[in-house]
Amino acid sequence: KIHEAAASDPNKVVFSFEFFPPKTEGGVVNLLERMDRMVAHSPSFCDITWGAGGSTADVTLDIAKKMQNTVGVETMMHLTCTNMPVEKIDDALETIKSNGLQNVLALRGDPPHGQDKFVQVEGGFACARDLVKHIRAKHGDYFGITIAGYPEAHPDAIGSNGLATPEDYQNDLTYLKSKVDAGADLIITQLFYDTDIFLKFANDCRQIGITCPIVPGIMPINNYKGFIRMTGFCKTKIPAEIMAALEPIKDNEEAVKAYGIHLGTEMCKKILAHGFKTLHLYTLNLEKSALAILKNLGLIEETSIPRTRPANAIQAKEDGENQERPTED
Ligand code: FAD
C-alpha cells in the first residue's frame, strides 16, 4: 500500500505521478507509453483519476488495471460518489481488487454536470467520509485509502473574496479529521501555489490530531490559460508575484513552461526543507515539466529515457482531442 511504502524509509524523498483518462483509444495507448517512460524514474506510485460524474469509469478501470499489471507500477485509482449507487461502487472495488490494486483515493466528487450542488444519488453516499467507512466495513484492511485535503479549505467554503472564513476553514479541518478517523491512511492535497498556505495547513492538521502522512499536490504550470482555468475552478490563491511573473510572458508557451518548472522546483525545495519527504505531481498527462522539476531537485538523473514499448505499438498523438488539457510532443 502506498502509505506503507512512503513510510518504509523515512529519510528518502519519494514522488508520485497523477494521470487522467484520455478520451480516445489512441490517447490511452499514448498515455501508457508515457507512463512507461515516467515509471522508469521509480515513482513510489501512480494514480489515475475518475472522470467527473463517473464519465470515464470503464476507461479508468481499464487503465488502472494496465498500470498495475502491464506498466508495473503500484497504482491507486480514484473513485467518487457522484452518480454511483453502492452497487456500482462495490463493482468498481471488486474489479480493482481482482486486478491486484490495493490503493484507492476515496472522494465525494463534484456535483453532476449542470448542477451547482452535490446531490447524493439514491442508494449512494453523501460524502467521502461515508465512502471511506463503507470501504473499511466491506474490505477491512485490504485497501490503502487516500483522501483529499484542501489547504485553502474546500472551494464550496471559499467566499467571493477568495478566502474561507476562519470558522469554515476550521470546520473543513474537523471534517478532514473525521475522514481520517473513518479509516483513511493518507491525505493528498488539492493544488496550491502559496507554499506557506500548505505548510500552515499541514501544521493545523497536526494540531487537531491528524497523524497520517500529508502529501502536497504540485501542479506545474504548463500554459497560462490552463493555469487560470484550473486555479479559477479550484479557487486557488495565486500569489501576486506569480501573476507578475506570468503576465508579461503569458503568450509565450515555452517561457510559461520554463517559469512553471522554476516555480515548481522552488515550491518543492521549500516543502522539502520543512521536512516533508513526499511530493505528488499532477502531470496533466505531460512529462517534461514534472520530470524537469524532479531533475532540478536531484531526485532523478535524466529527464529522458529510451521507450520500453515496441516501436510498432499504435502510434498516437498526445491526446489531442482533449481540449481541456495542454499537450506536448
Ligand atoms: P468530501 O471530503 O466529502 O467533502 C468536501 C467538502 O465538503 C469538505 O471539505 C467539507 O467542507 C464539506 N463536507 C462534505 N461532507 C460533509 C459533512 N458530512 N460534514 C461537514 N462537511 C462536509 N474529482 C473527480 O471527479 N475525480 C477525481 O478523480 C478527483 N480526484 C481528486 C484528487 C484530489 C487529490 C483532490 C484534492 C480532488 C479530486 N477531485 C476529483 C475533486 C473532488 O471530487 C472535489 O473537490 C469534490 O468537490 C470534493 O470531493 P471530496 O472527496 O474532497 O469531498
Residue 315's pLDDT is 41
pTM (whole model) above 0.95 = no
Tell me phi and psi for residue 326, to 5 degrees: -70, 165
Percent of the chain with pLDDT over 70: 92
Evaluate whether 45 touches 64 at the Cβ level (below 8 Å).
Answer: no
Q: Is the CB of 190 under 6 A from ligand 1?
A: yes
Burial of residue 83, with CB atoms counted within 10 A of its CB: 0-12 exposed, 13-18 middle, 19 or more buried: middle
CA distance 182 to 27: 37
The grid cell for 124 is: 449512494
The grid cell for 39 is: 515509471
Q: Predicted confidence band at 5 (pLDDT cuts at 50, 70, 90)? A: confident
Q: Is the CB of 45 under 6 A from ligand 1?
A: no
Tell me phi and psi for residue 231, to 5 degrees: -70, -30
Residue 296's pLDDT is 98
- Ligand 1 atom with minimal separation from the 118 CA: 47
Which helix (H) or strand (E) segment holds residue 170: the answer is helix 166-181
The grid cell for 238 is: 495565486
Q: Which amino acid is at 131?
A: L
CA distance 248 to 260: 14
Helix/strand/coil for 126: coil
Task: Read off the DSSP letter of residue 54.
Answer: G
Evaluate whether 200 touches 188 at the Cβ level (below 8 Å).
Answer: no
What's the gap in Å between 148 CA and the centre of ligand 1?
A: 6
Evaluate whether 156 touches 109 at the Cβ level (below 8 Å).
Answer: no
Evaluate whether 6 touches 213 at the Cβ level (below 8 Å).
Answer: yes
Tell me phi and psi for residue 47, to 5 degrees: -130, 160
State yes or no: pLDDT of 278 exceeds 80: yes
Which helix (H) or strand (E) segment holds residue 50: the answer is none
Pocket test for ligand 1, best of 47, 78, 127 (most atoms within 8 A of CB): 127
pLDDT tens-digit readout, 225-263: 999 999 999 999 999 999 999 999 999 999 999 999 999
Stretch 106-121: mean pLDDT: 89
- Weakest-pLDDT range from 61-70, 202-211, 294-303, 312-321: 312-321
Q: Is the CB of 132 under 6 A from ligand 1?
A: no
Evaluate whether 279 touches 216 at the Cβ level (below 8 Å).
Answer: yes
pLDDT tens-digit readout, 11-36: 899 999 999 999 999 999 999 999 99
